[in-house]
Chain A
Amino acid sequence: MELKVVGHRVKRYDGLAHVSGETRFVDDVIIPGTLTVKALRSPVSKGLVRGLDTSAAEAMPGVAGVITAADVPCNAYGMVPEQPVLVAEAIRYKGEPIAAVAAVDEDTALEAVTRIRLDIEEQEPVLDPLEAMKPDAPKVRPEGNVYMYGQRPFRQIVFGDVQTGFKEADLIVENEYFHPSMEHAQLEPQVSLAVPEASGRLTIHTVSQALYFHLGMLCGILQMEPNDIRCQAWAARTGSAWRHNAGFSDLNLAGGTVGGGFGAKNDLHADHVTALLALKTGRPCKWRWTREEEQLYSTYRGAWRMTIKDGVKKDGRIVARQMKSIRDAGSYTSLNAYVVDKHCFLAAGPYFIPNVYVQGYCVYTNKPPASSMRGFGVTPTTFATEVQMNRIAAELGLDPWEIRFRNAFRLGELTPTGRVVSSAALVEVLQKLAAQAGVDLPADLKALTSARKGEAS
């Protein structure tokens, strides 16, 4: 078969626009009369809003509108609909938005934010997930500091029986791994431009990486009708409530041009705020986060603490793996629960381990919500499990290449979640890598294939 794309160089459809400066990112959409948005953010990590007076800010010349929690039709959103757009009472992280201002220019908006009177009763935060898991820890949220997977406070993966596996093992290798939090550091910060159209429709120019997720969430927050049936299904699944009107669609997301995402734009950051201000003022509203806001308050890859206990045979085969991982999720679920899921599903990596037991905890702390970042939790899994492979090899006096060949998935084997591996290629990938790295593998490893064990290749 002649392939038209695979094996050929295909020019990017947007490449010429990128090199000529013609690509129009959200901040490059410039509409006369657009108001500049700035937010009042919490100065403390935990506390209660006891007083909020926006009258002085609203009275300032040049200020077109100020919004607080009272202006949000449905002040709870997310995969688990729980995160407020603007804090009503309980502050859960430093930098959490409490109010937002739309003004004629940036200076006026910044000045107006300083004129909002805010009284906070500061509370003791919990910032370390291990502390947060203790029964007497301060509560990030009233329902507890650990996300509940059904009846369990952790995602559980059970495959075979690890205790039996440990008994069969010649050696136990146990290590603890720590993966720090990371900021995506995409070049384009969070930007949103909401434009009320003459038709009554609201158009939001968005940097979203997840347009349909966000359309559903925004329809819930704004109590508007989504303009696509798939979003209604999504809103229903996420529990968002929205007013359903037959007839004209109210909300239009204009997106797809993203100046780098890496997972930083899978969560709503600014679109809900600009939308509310645009509806309140009747004017286009643009909010561009500063780099400082992006670094401090946007989502990020949460930190992980991972313990791996492996039972291994002298020939390098891993016969049992017990893994316990703790994810610092920050203050809201955002995509953390799914991040922990994927982390746990991949606990064996590309290796066949007959007995696996995994516990993945998603723990809340008084930090900005962590969320997705490149790999949804799998990157820390891979970091920990691959370092573990090297440590096992060192303890057994084996070559780090060899131990990977000994454990590599073969066709037909099972993953810890019970899936049949129908496409295995690690053996071949390792052989190719070794060749490119100039590593001369022993003849028996060169002869291996991903075919089923016991089958001639």
Chain B
Amino acid sequence: MYSIELKVNGRPYSVMVDLKTTLLEVLRDKLFITSPKVGCNTGDCGACSVLLDGRLVRSCITNALTAAGREVTTVEGLARPGEIHPLQRAFHEHYAAQCGFCTPGMILAAKALLDENPEPTRDQVREALSGNLCRCTGYVKIVDAVMAAAQEMAGAGALKAGRG
């Protein structure tokens, strides 16, 4: 067993892991952060997606040791008190979540995209979300939501820039 330290949603944790513990197991089984889901456990469906130092990873095939000393973001870490993230609001308002099982991973994949490319085309959104499977929506509403969030965030950015 090894002791590792990592930050999850801004909070520091110290956990014991062995050589085959995955990051998903650390989050779900040790820290009880359950928004990353076990959909396939083989890195195919994207339901376990989290951000590791801001980069999108599939936590079910990420060895926990590689997360040592790094910062993990799950969807629980996106909202601030009294204020949900524009992506969360857009997914809610555009009906991009149906059963909700893929939603946390989907929102994080979208965040990873918008952090890098704040004004994506619909095709770029589809490309960025292509590792995250949704069986309910048919994806159209998810792309709608990401485009709406991008627009809102760009507007907020322009506003800030204007004020600054």
Contact = CB atoms under 8 A, between A and B. Distances in A.
Interface of A: 11-12, 14-21, 23-25, 27-28, 30, 184-189, 258-262, 288, 290-291
Interface string B23-50: 0000011001011011111101101000
A19 B135 contact: no
14 contacts: A11-B93, A14-B100, A18-B91, A19-B88, A19-B89, A19-B97, A20-B88, A27-B34, A27-B38, A185-B135, A260-B135, A262-B135, A291-B41, A291-B45
A288 B39 CA distance: 10
Interface residues of B, number: 38
A12 B89 CA distance: 12
A288 B38 contact: yes
A151 to B, nearest CB: 41
Nearest to B20: A107
B41 to A, nearest CB: 6
B93 A18 contact: no
A18 B103 contact: yes
Nearest to B107: A19
Nearest to A188: B101
Given A21-B74, A188-B99, A30 B34 contact: yes
Given A20-B75, A20-B76, A12 B39 contact: no
Contact of B41 (A186, A259, A290): A290
B104 A15 contact: no
A259 B32 contact: no
A186 B39 CA distance: 9
B136 interface: yes
A189 B39 contact: yes
A19 B91 contact: yes
A182 to B, nearest CB: 12
Interface in B79-114: 79, 84, 87-89, 91-93, 95, 97, 99-104, 107
Nearest to B88: A19
Contacts of B153: none
Residue of B28, B37, B42, B74 most packed against chain A (CB within 10 A): B37
B34 A187 contact: no
A291 B84 contact: no
B76 A21 contact: yes
A25 B102 CA distance: 12
A188 B103 contact: no
Given A12-B92, A15-B92, A260-B136, A21 B38 contact: no
Residue picked from A15, A23, A187, A288, most chain B C-beta under 10 Å: A187
A291 B42 CA distance: 8
Contacts of B100: 14, 17-18, 23, 25, 259
Given A18-B100, A25-B101, A188 B88 contact: no
Given A12-B92, A27-B38, A187 B84 contact: no
Instruction: Tell me the interface secondary structure of chain A in the complex.
Output: loop
B72 interface: no
A259 B101 contact: yes
Given A19-B92, A187-B133, A290-B41, A28 B34 contact: yes
Contact of A187 (B28, B41, B42, B134): B134
A21 B99 contact: no
B82 to A, nearest CB: 13
A288 B134 CA distance: 20
Given A12-B92, A17-B100, A187 B37 contact: yes
A261 B79 CA distance: 29
B98 to A, nearest CB: 8
A296 to B, nearest CB: 13
Contacts of B104: 21
Nearest to A11: B92
| In the A-B complex, the 5 residue pairs with the closest CB atoms | A21-B35, A18-B100, A259-B101, A18-B97, A28-B34
Given A11-B92, A12-B92, A290-B41, A19 B103 contact: yes
Contacts of B107: 19
Contacts of B84: 16, 19-20
A16 B97 CA distance: 9
Nearest to B108: A21
A30 B41 contact: no
A327 to B, nearest CB: 24
Interface string B118-131: 00000000000000
A261 B101 CA distance: 11
B37 A259 contact: yes
B97 A15 contact: yes
Contacts of B42: 291
A15 B32 CA distance: 21
Nearest to A15: B92
Contacts of A261: 99
A28 B29 CA distance: 10
Most buried by A among B41, B84, B88, B101: B101
B101 A187 contact: yes
A27 B40 CA distance: 13
Contacts of B92: 11-12, 15-16, 18-19
Contacts of B41: 290-291
A189 B48 CA distance: 14
A258 B34 contact: no
Interface-centre pick from A16, A18, A288 (highest chain B CB count, 10 A): A18
A27 B135 contact: no
A14 B76 CA distance: 16
A187 B47 contact: yes
A21 B50 CA distance: 12
Contacts of A260: 99, 101, 135-136
A379 to B, nearest CB: 16
